[in-house]
Chain A
Amino acid sequence: MDTIFIQRTDIGRWLDRLAEERTVFAPTRRDGAVVYRPYRTGFVLELDAMPTTSPKEIVFPQNETLLTYSRAGNASGGAPKVEARETLPEQKAVIFGARPCGVNGLGVFDQVFDNDKTRDAYYTARRKDTRIITFACDRPRSTCFCTNVGGGPGDAAGSDVMLYPLGDGFVAEAVTTGGKAMLSLATGAPAGDREVAAKALVETAREAMPEPLELARIRENFDKCFNDMEFWEEQSGKCLSCGACAYLCPSCHCFNITDEGTESEGKRLRSWDNCMSYTFTAEASGHNPRAAKAMRLRNRVGHKFVYFPETHEGEVACRGCGRCIVSCPSSVDIRQIAKAIQEYCDDDK
């Protein structure tokens, strides 16, 4: 059966069975934040709140080892022997309780990290065997705007199973063959009329979303306002350059590479980085092409709404999840910036 109704009380049993085969990452509450953690029996699930973090961390960890190295002295007095060893990950995973915006964010990762020109060996090793069980949203937050950027509260793209919340359970729909196999491990009843009722709730959520942004106009006006530093200083005035927006964003994928260890042994790490940091583009010579905060915010917004669409058939790299708005310590709102660009008028300047 492709669509069933699963009682909330039966979810734990389903995850227990999934966890026999794969590492199941599920949302739970830690220090007030909702984060994905490996599921074990007895784990306290957080099924209703929007996760604070995005599921990107499961296929693209905050930091990971790219290689290990060692340098051993040469007994004959010659140059030391140096070796570097590749450390590719192995992971069979299920992301349980991703939201459509988070899954859409992985779509950006797929385009960047796994394309005809470049395949990131670490990302693709995790991604190829990661399955996704998505929660459709029936209650958008005030900061949600996924429908503005091509998504939606019931968007099933990229998911293996969709769960639509309804009362004391979920209508569960298999989207892929892998999803069907996972669903066969769940205890459920025929969905019947509940499928229509659950999808109607999601449709109501869609209708409650804000007025769409005019993406084409944002792209057109970005060029016009690019050199208006007064405009960008106003937009970036409150920003602290802390980078929380980038770390929580489901599609931000910039990283740093650093070595950690001693001269004789250690590892090379890849860690999340963020484009709001001064050091992101500071060159060793002292030159920094984006030395000012306003220039960095301009690049960040430009990348989301202009640069990425230019190279990816118009697709916007912002997924409208609102995580950057919710967690910004100084209330910078990317929607307001996008709107300001949209309404930027040369005649008034």
Chain B
Amino acid sequence: MTTNNPLMPLMATIVETVRETANIKTFRVRLDDEAAMRDFTFLPGQVGQLSLFGVGESTFVINSSPTRMDYLQFSILKTGEVTAALHRLKTGDRIGVRAPLGNWFPVELLKGKDILFVGGGIGMAPLRTLLIYMLDNRNDFGKITLLYGGRSPGDMAFQEDLKEWAARQDMDMVLTIDNPADGWAHEVGLIPNVLKEMKPTPENCIAVTCGPPIMIKFTVMALQELGFPDESIITTLERRMKCGVGLCGRCNIGGKYVCVDGPVFSWAELKDLPQEL
């Protein structure tokens, strides 16, 4: 934060919007204070609070990569009052930003490892930031595999990225949807089932997963079945948050606060916490 008041947003302007799906829209924003934008640093996995004054604030992952700092990107699933209002914004509109907040993926620990990404729906957003970071530092990491699923072809976000990633020789990508659909040339089936069929090897591999809570639960079970130890499974959690800085008391899981101790956790950490996911 560039202000001493962690609850005070910085003003930012939307420089571009991308319609991802019927209910997911991406916003690319720049902080209005050019010096603050130039000095802004974050690590993959960190989140921000976006403010639409008069409506409210909500938490979203910064899903651009720190290796590409032209703008900060947030992809927003329309689910509630704030997100519905944010979806009505367009290029040139101004919003408040409080970022970066929370912890980040353990990038240093991931170096030299194979990485298996498993993303579901809007849960692809936090994975995107780490995946791009890794692709931009490709030699630091081993084999990179992405399994990404949506309910239907129309629910697959980040189409520009998917085209680029499909063309790359230095990563593997598997896409899946829940039920068969005309013109769909990829896998069909729920993510945990497709994952089991892929049979990724757990040796020297870290799995990074994010999606709806139910998907995370069954994906973790599938990974464990495949032999992934709890320390090698990383996920990011959502919670209803307000302050984002460990004050408002809303997002605790036992003694941890998702907003400051997370949103990134290993499954080894999570299984030691009260089971209230």
The complex places the Cα of A69 from the Cα of B212 at a distance, in Å, of 34
The complex places the Cα of A287 from the Cα of B277 at a distance, in Å, of 10
Contact A82 B94 (CB under 8 A): yes
Partner of A66, one of B7, B238, B245: B7
Contact A71 B239 (CB under 8 A): no
Does A268 count as interface, using CB distance less than 8 angstroms? Answer: yes
Among A117, A226, A258, A289, max chain B CB count under 10 A is at A289
- The B1-38 residues at the A interface (CB cut-off 8 A) are 4-9, 11, 13
Partner of B56, one of A78, A113, A120, A257: A257
Residues of B within 8 A of A308 (CB): 255
- The A92-121 residues at the B interface (CB cut-off 8 A) are 112-113, 117-121
Residues of B within 8 A of A268 (CB): 51, 53
Partner of A302, one of B58, B82, B96, B274: B274
User: Quick one: given A119-B4, A275-B249, are A283 and B11 in contact (CB under 8 Å)?
Assistant: no
User: Quick one: given A78-B92, A84-B8, are A287 and B213 in contact (CB under 8 Å)?
Assistant: yes
- The A56-82 residues at the B interface (CB cut-off 8 A) are 66-67, 69, 71, 78-82
Residues of A within 8 A of B253 (CB): 289
Contact A255 B79 (CB under 8 A): no
Contact B239 A283 (CB under 8 A): yes
Contact A285 B212 (CB under 8 A): yes
Partner of B53, one of A82, A270, A285, A311: A82
Return the chain B residue nearest A309 by Cβ: B255
Partner of A84, one of B4, B96, B275: B96
Give the shortest distance, in Å, between B2 (CB) and chain A (any CB).
Answer: 13
Contact A226 B239 (CB under 8 A): no
The complex places the Cα of A329 from the Cα of B29 at a distance, in Å, of 49
Contact mask for chain A residues 181-194; partner B; CB cutoff 8 A; 1 contact, 0 none: 00000000000000
User: Quick one: given A71-B53, A78-B92, A117-B260, are A255 and B276 in contact (CB under 8 Å)?
Assistant: no
Count, A-B residue pairs, CB within 8 A: 133
Interface residues of A (CB under 8 A from B): 66-67, 69, 71, 78-84, 86, 88, 112-113, 117-122, 226-227, 253-259, 261-263, 266, 268, 270, 273, 275, 280-285, 287, 289-290, 295, 299, 302-303, 306-308, 310-311
Contact B255 A310 (CB under 8 A): yes
Interchain Cβ contacts under 8 Å between A and B, 11 examples? A67-B7, A69-B54, A84-B96, A117-B246, A121-B6, A256-B248, A257-B242, A266-B53, A273-B250, A284-B79, A287-B213
Does B67 count as interface, using CB distance less than 8 angstroms? Answer: no
Give the shortest distance, in Å, between A77 (CB) and chain B (any CB).
Answer: 11
Give the shortest distance, in Å, between B88 (CB) and chain A (any CB).
Answer: 12
Return the chain B residue nearest A112 by Cβ: B247
Residues of B within 8 A of A78 (CB): 92
Contact B8 A66 (CB under 8 A): yes
Contact A285 B79 (CB under 8 A): yes
Partner of A289, one of B11, B13, B54, B239: B239
Partner of A113, one of B51, B247, B252: B247
Return the chain B residue nearest A268 by Cβ: B53
Does B83 count as interface, using CB distance less than 8 angstroms? Answer: yes
- The B193-234 residues at the A interface (CB cut-off 8 A) are 212-213
Return the chain B residue nearest A222 by Cβ: B274
The complex places the Cα of A306 from the Cα of B273 at a distance, in Å, of 12
The complex places the Cα of A255 from the Cα of B242 at a distance, in Å, of 8
Contact A307 B255 (CB under 8 A): yes
Interface residues of B (CB under 8 A from A): 4-9, 11, 13, 51, 53-58, 79-80, 82-83, 92-96, 212-213, 238-240, 242-243, 245-255, 260, 274-277
The complex places the Cα of A310 from the Cα of B257 at a distance, in Å, of 13
Return the chain B residue nearest A270 by Cβ: B7
Residues of A within 8 A of B254 (CB): 302, 306-307, 310
User: Quick one: given A117-B260, A275-B249, A299-B252, are A281 and B239 in contact (CB under 8 Å)?
Assistant: yes
Contact B250 A254 (CB under 8 A): yes
Give the shortest distance, in Å, between A228 (CB) and chain B (any CB).
Answer: 13
Partner of B247, one of A120, A226, A261: A120
Give the shortest distance, in Å, between B128 (CB) and chain A (any CB).
Answer: 19
Give the shortest distance, in Å, between A344 (CB) and chain B (any CB).
Answer: 16
Contact A84 B11 (CB under 8 A): yes
Would you list the 4 A-B pairs with minimal beta carbon distance, nearest first?
A284-B80, A254-B249, A69-B53, A79-B92
Contact B249 A281 (CB under 8 A): no
Give the shortest distance, in Å, between A144 (CB) and chain B (any CB).
Answer: 25
Residues of B within 8 A of A80 (CB): 93-94
Among A79, A258, A273, A303, max chain B CB count under 10 A is at A79
Residues of B within 8 A of A122 (CB): 7
Other than the given A86-B5, A121-B5, A258-B56, 9 more pairs (CB < 8 A) read A66-B7, A67-B9, A119-B6, A255-B243, A256-B248, A268-B53, A285-B238, A287-B212, A310-B254
Give the shortest distance, in Å, between B76 (CB) and chain A (any CB).
Answer: 11
Among B13, B80, B94, max chain A CB count under 10 A is at B94
Contact A118 B248 (CB under 8 A): no
The complex places the Cα of A269 from the Cα of B95 at a distance, in Å, of 17
